[in-house]
Structures are given as structure tokens and as C-alpha cells.
Structure 1
């Protein structure tokens, strides 16, 4: 990571051509600290493989969610990015939470504390949060396009993993599990995408709206059906070489499935096979 081609910006802030912060020292005092850190910092003296594991542990395990809120509100909205969509103001909403947090509690700037430690650590970890150690999720195609417009291009191109959720009603099976294929329209914009994970949940019908415990044959059917049909669409939309992962997820708050929903499901699946 050099500073070739970079131009001084506003006071004390320099950026590289890819718009990342140019952390190379440019004053004598900063150069002395830079050299001292290379020999005095225990973390920076560790083998690169161990450093990478430490950085992944510190910066990974997060779900980074992008969604769009539409409003007729006018005037400035702090910390928002907006476009006009269908006559309404479309605002890009960003939320970060821990993957192991059941209630998706928002976490503010989880990557800053480590990256601001010193120049070397920033240079080594600037793109780490966008690698496979974190999951990225977007609610719709517009959210993904707004991400591409608003994020630094080097960050956007470094996103390696995207997660989708399919929530299928027990009594209403379908080819794609109710997934909106429009969300895949701009997936090819993620040039660095390596993994797409699809989590399949079940929801009950009118009598049971919570997550439900399913018989094994239902889980197997959904995994195979959705994996084949939706997997085909994702591969067609995503950059070449993307690895697909389909998983069944059963939430903790569960109820036994309604027999009527199962009966209706069998009838729908039979009709799908016959056609």
C-alpha cells in the first residue's frame, strides 16, 4: 500500500486514488513512530498468519444490514444517504449488529477502535471488515445500488459474503420460497463476492404465525427445492465462481406445525410436481 498518486486533501487528511486514507507517515515525527512500532509493538511483531487471525477475531462476527426507508419528509436528515424513488425520498439505513445477538442490537462503529490504534494496523485492516468474516445483507435492489453509490468503491468491491433469508409459509410452498428475485437484479455489482448464504426459515399459517418445528421431510423438500431453483437464479445474477450455501434455520421460539398446513403443503407440492 503505497502513496503513489495520492494528493493532499484538507488539512492533515490525505487519500489514495482508491479513496482510502493514506496512512503513510509524511512528517519526521510520524516516521519515527512508524519505525518504532515495527520493532516495539508485540502485535506487529507476530507472524502474519497469527496477526490475520487476531484481526479477524477482532473485526469479524458482525451482520451489516442495508435497508431503504421511504418518506415524504423534506429537509436535512443527519447521517443519511437519500435518493428519490417513486416520488418519495428513499433513505439508505445502515445497521451493524453481532451475528450471535438474537435481538440484533445495533452497534456503533465496531471497527474504529482497532483501526485507529496506529498507521500500520489501519493499513493492514482497512479492508478486513468487508471480507468473508462478516455477513452483508440488503433488503432490496435499491439498497444494493445505493450502497454502490455511497460506499467507497474499494470497500464495495471488497464485500465477499452476502446473506439472504427465505421465510416460507408452511402451507404455501413455492418455487423460490417466497423470495423476491428483484433483489438479485444488481448482484453482479459486487465484483468481489465469493459466498452467498441462504437461510431458510418456516412460518406457520393463519393459526400459527411464529416459527414452527417441521417434520424432516418438509425440511428436506424445502432445502432441495429452494436450493435448486433459487440457487440457479443466484448463480445467473452473481459474479462467476460464487459459492452457494443453503441452510435450514429453526428459531428458538417455536410451535408445532398445524396439521392443516401440512396437508395443504402436500397438495401444493403435488400440484407443482405434476405441472
Structure 2
């Protein structure tokens, strides 16, 4: 019988080494993310729910190019969440999702651009993305808990890792699909690589990039219930409590609130796509 490879012991040594030498960095990241989420939540909770619903409906109306159907559904959905007395939890979930999405996009879009312009980087990132997208979502919770403990911060970290791949892949795809004729014209006019990227490639690739943004938001929302297993608060935790207590009513209400938020964000991002309308 072959001797067992001490893989687990090696991982434990690596974790201890990271905590010993980079604990200050992990603490800084944890503090920054906590400040970000708490700031979003405090600002949103300062607005009374009825005022927030009216402002959200007005914002959606103009962001979706005056789509009355989406605006009405947004207002009715938010009113239902308020009526179910889940408003504070919904605001916290919204703050967590927005924080995770912003972080994921801040990492994914630049890496997607680099991947589209450099084949060596693309080859490395493709392997990493394949690994990330085939990994079960529960596995993301392990390193998050090891380095950041329990709470909202590890939930955000796990969500960021889970939500990044589609945005990165679609950014890369959008830039690669820019017609070669446009690239040749830009080169003929003597544009610099930065000018070509900003004025030609990104505008043409924007619909594909926005599709990646949409998928990133949806994946972040889908992670809310899973992240609640490591202490992430919000509607996901309420769903988890409903499962643990076999409380079908409260679990269903919290799940419905998550679905409403997902539909609202999905419709908004779909209507933001250039020259596209939501189905």
C-alpha cells in the first residue's frame, strides 16, 4: 500500500505561514470590507422605506429608458418586501451583493482586458477560470473561513471568487470579437494602445461586457444563501434558518425576497445593454 501524501499537513503549514506573515494584510482587508458593507447598509437604511421605493422606481424608470413595466414591477416587488417585514434584511443583502459585485468587477474587467491583449496571460487565466467554474461553490467557503473567520467578510470574499469568472470571460470575449477592420483603421490613424482600447475596443465590446456584469450580479445573489453558512447575514441567513427549523413560511418569504431583488437587478442590467431591450 502506498504511503499517504501529507497534503493536508502541507496545507496547514501554508495557512499558518500566511497568517504569521500576512495577518496584518488579512486584517486590513477584513476591516476595509466591513467598513464598505456597513457604510452601504447605513446609508441605505437612513432612507425611509417608502421614500426608498419611490426613488428606486424613478431611478429604474430613467435607467431602463422609461420602461413603465419594469418600473411598476420594481415598485410592487419592493413594496412586498417591506410588507413582509424583511426590509432591513433585504437592505443588508443588497449591500453585500453590491459590495461583492463591485469588487468582483474591479478585478475581473481589468484581467479580462489583459487576457484579451496578451496570449500568455490568457493561457494562465483560462486554466484558473476553468478551475474556478468547476469547483463546487461550497468549497469557496473553506479558505474564506480559514483566513477571515465567520461573518459578512468571508461571505463577500467567497462571493467575489464565485462571481468573477463570467465577467472576466465575457470581457475577454467582447474585446476579441471587435472587428479587425476597426482595429486596422485605428492603427492607421496612429492611435496609441490606450486610445484604441478606450475609444474603439471597449465601446464595441460593451454589450458583451454588460452581459458579464449581469451574470456577475446574478451569481453574487445566488451565493447569498450559501454564504449564510459561514455567518453572512441578510435574507440568505433567514432562508437557512427556515431550512434548519423546517419553517417553510419564513424560509419561503425570505427566498421570495431574494428572487424579487434578483429580477429587479436582472431587468435593470438587461435594459442598460446598448441597443438591447429586455425580453
- TM-score normalised by length of structure 1: 0.25
Q: Greater helix share, 1 or 2?
A: 2
What TM-score do you get using the length of structure 2 for normalisation? 0.24
RCO higher in structure (CA 8 A, sep ≥6): 2
Structure exhibiting the larger radius of gyration computed from Cα positions:
1
